[in-house]
């Protein structure tokens, strides 16, 4: 009898695997949405090939997942999602290609969610045009209604999806592609590439130590969730930043008490002239903690950092003397991400941090990364062949590869940390306790 039961169980498991395998391959077909109409005021488009992304993640989850924590995270997300009804307000078929459209309208930056419509009703906040649903997601309903009327009455152009690219961010100028950020999710690595243009100032990290470095130029009009709306006072002025992080230390001082002392160097590049006193006012509003200045030092809570104006629009805050360099990369990343969650001398209190799902997921993700590689290459579209048959071109294509350790799945690790953050942010905002 037991042999028969085991045989039946094996057959059922095999059938479930076959059904899961067939389902994965059924959603792997190309999307029926090959292009989408966009308003003429479009300056950027985030294009998402959901079939390509989720078919690979589902295959990895079904046949390659060996992590019990992944099962727990998916279960928690599903329970929250099942109880949440807010998703019904977007009548979009998210199993097909969809996008976020960035527009400049009346000197304002707005973001529009757009995709194939699954409803003909007019009870939603957006509008339907040629079978696609559009809704402004970066403004309140009253202001969005006025702006949407302007969009409907304006001229439009068609923007195509590339079936070979899972996730892209296109910069648009006068309806033409100006630059493209391409993101790839592979089994063992995350990769993205783009065309490097103007030079920018960055802080050179101390390569003799473990560090994590990130430098970027900000694209104006980045959409921040309502929870972080206070950051607008900072992001609206920033042209970019450069950041080196070396970990943190837990301080237990008899006079000043206990606190976390992060070691970092941060360079702010502003789009307009900005004084250190202006920056400290912004930090007081953003940080929501004690920020004070004494001579050439700034105190963030009880941690002390150097404060220095490099020029009239560049300000440095950090533990070390800044060593600056120029780079053409709009975005650069180097070092070891695990230092982001590293806190020395924490002792038994470190166990309390492990109970926070967001910290645990970020720590697991950062520790699963083996290396981050960057290199410049030629743009194939601009290469020329001279008479001497030598291939000449300008190396202006930036490539960044985040390689994961053997045994770690890049797609699943990324999926898990995003789901964890969604559990912590998305549903708490919708259903506050």
Average pLDDT over the chain, rounded to whole?
Answer: 78
- Tell me which range, 17-26, 53-62, 107-116, is most confidently predicted by mean pLDDT: 107-116
String of b and e for 390-428 (b: at least 16 CB within 10 Å)?
eeeeeebbbebbbbbeeebbbbbbbbbbebbebbeebbe
- The pLDDT of residue 99 is 94
For residue 189, the surrounding DSSP H or E stretch is strand 189-195
Whether the predicted pLDDT of 185 surpasses 60: yes
Beta partners for residue 418, in sequence order: none
State the average pLDDT over residues 353-374. Answer: 84
Q: Burial level of 203, CB count in 10 A (0-12/13-18/19+)?
A: buried
Contact call for residues 196 and 328 (beta carbons, < 8 A): yes
- The pLDDT of residue 58 is 61
- The pLDDT of residue 237 is 78
Whether the predicted pLDDT of 226 surpasses 70: no
Q: What contacts 39, CB < 8 A, 6 or more positions away?
A: 101, 103, 112, 151, 154, 155, 156
Token pair 């190396």 in the structure block, residue:
395
- The pLDDT of residue 248 is 93
Q: What pLDDT band is residue 346 in, cutting at 50, 70 and 90?
A: confident
State the average pLDDT over residues 335-363. Answer: 83
Share above pLDDT 70 across residues of the chain, in percent, rounded to a whole number = 73
- In three-state secondary structure terms, 121 is coil
Tell me the C-alpha distance between 193 and 265, whole Å.
26
- The pLDDT of residue 300 is 87
Tell me the C-alpha distance between 368 and 190, whole Å.
12
- The pLDDT of residue 170 is 92
- The pLDDT of residue 317 is 94
Q: Which of 69, 50, 97, 57 is nearest to 186 (CA)?
A: 57
Token pair 């059924």 in the structure block, residue:
26
Each residue's pLDDT tens digit, 396-413? 788 889 999 988 888 888
Q: What pLDDT band is residue 13 in, cutting at 50, 70 and 90?
A: very low
The total number of residues written for the chain in this structure: 433
pLDDT higher at 389 or 57: 57
For residue 104, the surrounding DSSP H or E stretch is strand 98-105
Tell me the Ramachandran region of residue 276: left when phi exceeds 0, alpha when psi lies from -120 to 50, beta otherwise: alpha
Q: What pLDDT band is residue 376 in, cutting at 50, 70 and 90?
A: confident
In angstroms, what CA-CA distances link 21 with 11, 31, 415? 15, 19, 19
**Torsion angle of the four alpha carbons 261, 373, 421, 281, in this order, in degrees rounded to the nearest 10:** 40
Q: Looking at 52-66, 257-271, 377-391, which range is the least confident one? A: 377-391
- The pLDDT of residue 431 is 44
Q: Looking at 265-274, 297-306, 349-358, which range is the least confident one? A: 349-358
pTM of the full structure: 0.74
Q: What pLDDT band is residue 86 in, cutting at 50, 70 and 90?
A: low
Q: Looking at 50-64, 120-134, 261-275, which range is the least confident one? A: 50-64
Phi, psi of 211 (to 5 degrees): -150, 165
Q: Which of 203, 229, 233, 198 is nearest to 215 (CA)?
A: 203
Tell me the C-alpha distance between 268 and 201, whole Å.
9
* Cα Rg of the chain, angstroms: 25
Contact call for residues 74 and 14 (beta carbons, < 8 A): no
Q: Looking at 154-158, 159-163, 283-287, 399-403, which range is the least confident one? A: 283-287
Tell me the C-alpha distance between 193 and 359, whole Å.
28
Phi, psi of 100 (to 5 degrees): -110, 125
């Amino acid at each position: 009898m037991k042999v028969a039961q085991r045989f039946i169980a094996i057959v059922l498991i095999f059938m479930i695997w076959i059904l899961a395998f067939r389902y994965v391959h059924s959603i792997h077909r190309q999307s029926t949405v090959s292009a989408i109409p966009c308003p003429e005021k479009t300056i950027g488009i985030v294009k998402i090939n959901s079939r390509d992304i989720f078919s690979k993640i589902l295959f990895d989850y079904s046949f390659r997942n060996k992590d019990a924590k992944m099962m727990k995270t998916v279960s928690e997300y599903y329970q929250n999602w099942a109880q949440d009804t807010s998703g019904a307000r977007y009548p979009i078929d998210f199993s097909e290609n969809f996008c976020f459209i960035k527009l400049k309208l009346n000197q304002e930056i707005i973001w529009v969610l757009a995709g194939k419509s699954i409803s003909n009703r007019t009870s939603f906040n957006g509008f339907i045009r040629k079978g696609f649903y559009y809704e402004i997601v970066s403004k309140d309903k009253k202001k969005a209604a006025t702006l949407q009327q302007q969009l409907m009455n304006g001229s439009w152009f068609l923007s195509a999806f590339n079936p070979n690219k899972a996730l892209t961010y296109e910069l648009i100028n006068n309806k033409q592609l100006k630059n493209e950020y391409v993101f790839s999710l592979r089994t063992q690595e995350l990769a993205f590439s783009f065309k490097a243009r103007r030079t920018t100032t960055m802080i050179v990290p101390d390569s003799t130590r473990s560090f994590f470095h990130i430098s970027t130029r900000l694209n104006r009009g980045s959409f921040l969730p309502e929870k972080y709306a206070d950051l607008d006072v900072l992001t609206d002025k920033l042209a970019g930043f450069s950041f080196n992080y070396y970990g943190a230390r837990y301080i237990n001082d008899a006079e000043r008490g206990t606190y976390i002392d992060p070691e970092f160097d941060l360079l702010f590049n502003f789009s307009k002239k900005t004084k250190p006193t202006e920056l400290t006012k912004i930090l007081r509003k953003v940080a929501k903690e004690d920020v004070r200045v004494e001579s050439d030092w700034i105190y963030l809570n009880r941690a002390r950092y150097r404060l220095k104006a490099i020029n009239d629009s560049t300000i440095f805050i950090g533990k070390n003397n800044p060593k600056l360099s120029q780079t053409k990369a709009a975005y650069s990343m180097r070092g070891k991400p695990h230092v982001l969650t590293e806190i020395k001398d924490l002792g038994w209190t470190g166990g309390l941090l492990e109970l926070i799902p967001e910290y645990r997921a970020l720590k697991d993700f950062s520790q699963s990364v083996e290396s981050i590689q960057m290199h410049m290459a030629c743009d194939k579209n601009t290469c020329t062949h001279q008479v001497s048959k030598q291939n000449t071109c300008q190396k202006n294509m930036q490539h960044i590869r985040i390689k994961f350790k053997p045994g770690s799945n890049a797609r699943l690790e990324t999926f898990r940390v995003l789901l964890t953050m969604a559990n912590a942010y998305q549903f708490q905002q919708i259903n506050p306790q």
